[in-house]
């Protein structure tokens, strides 16, 4: 059985970007994270050890977002590696990261990168 844990539109202020002003001013980023793992045992045991602790996932995401990077791709890679290292029972992981105010011409809701990996 596969279960999913989904972080939907986690909004974090951070300082990622290639341009110098992006690392000084910062902007909001929206993260969507999907995790697949067999956590069926928790439906019977009601024990945190039998599932993926999403509070820990939230902490990992926030810690990695605090580290300024040039590329959103790099941040996503760090988030995915840290989550998988912490919870090896994960069978699938995806991260979508959106920069809400990219320094580019035109009106938009943001620019996103998306990664997914099966394990």
Q: Catalytic residue numbers? A: 99
CB-based contact 25:84 (threshold 8 Å): no
- CA-to-CA separations, 50 to 1, 31, 33, 76, 111, in angstroms, rounded: 14, 25, 20, 26, 36
| Secondary structure element (H or E) that encloses residue 31, with its range | strand 27-37
Neighbours of 1 (CB within 10 A): 8
Sign of the torsion formed by the C-alpha atoms of 68, 65, 111 and 94: positive
């Amino acid at each position: 059985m596969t279960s999913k844990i989904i972080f939907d539109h986690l909004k974090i202020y951070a300082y990622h970007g290639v341009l110098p002003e992006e690392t000084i001013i910062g902007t909001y980023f929206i993260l969507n994270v999907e995790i697949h793992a067999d956590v069926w045992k928790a439906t019977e045991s009601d024990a945190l050890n039998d599932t993926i602790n999403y509070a820990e996932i939230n902490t990992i995401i926030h810690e990695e977002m605090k580290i300024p990077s040039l590329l959103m791709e790099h941040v996503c890679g760090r988030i995915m590696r840290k989550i998988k290292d912490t919870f090896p029972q994960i069978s699938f992981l995806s991260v979508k990261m959106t920069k809400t105010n990219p320094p580019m011409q035109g009106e938009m809701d943001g620019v996103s990168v998306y990664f997914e990996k099966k394990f």
